[in-house]
Amino acid sequence: MKKFPEILSVIVGLALVQAAPAASATLFGETLDANITITGQDDNGFYTLPVLVGPVVVGASGFSDNIPVFKQLTEGGFSTPTNQITGNVIVSIGADTISVEMQGQVQPFELESKFSGIGGASFQIANDADSAARVMSGVNLDLFDSNTPHSVDFATYYLGFQPGTDLTQTETLTFAPGAGAVPEPSTWVLLLAGFVGLGFAGRLRSRRRVEVAG
**117-145 pLDDT per residue, tens:** 999 989 999 999 999 999 999 999 999 99
The rounded distance, in Å, linking the Cα atoms of 203 and 10 is 19
pLDDT tens, residue by residue, 78-130 = 999 999 999 999 999 999 999 999 999 999 999 999 999 999 989 999 999 99
Query: Which one, of 113, 93, 89, 56, lies nearest residue 172 by Cα?
Result: 93
Residue 143 lies in a domain: yes
Same structural domain, 68 and 166: yes
At 188, which helix (H) or strand (E)?
A: helix 185-213
Number of domains the chain contains: 2
- Partners of 102 in beta bridges: 89, 167
pTM (two decimals): 0.76
Cα dist. 27→59, 114, 205 in Å?
Answer: 9, 15, 49
Residue 192 lies in a domain: yes
Residue 26 lies in a domain: no
pLDDT tens, residue by residue, 37-53 = 999 999 999 999 999 99
Residue 110 lies in a domain: yes
Residue 14 is part of which domain span?
4-21+181-213
User: Using 50, 70 and 90 to split pLDDT, how confident is the model at 178?
Assistant: confident
User: Using 50, 70 and 90 to split pLDDT, how confident is the model at 5?
Assistant: low
CATH number at residue 36: 2.60.220
The rounded distance, in Å, linking the Cα atoms of 159 and 179 is 42
Residue 13 lies in a domain: yes
Same structural domain, 114 and 197: no
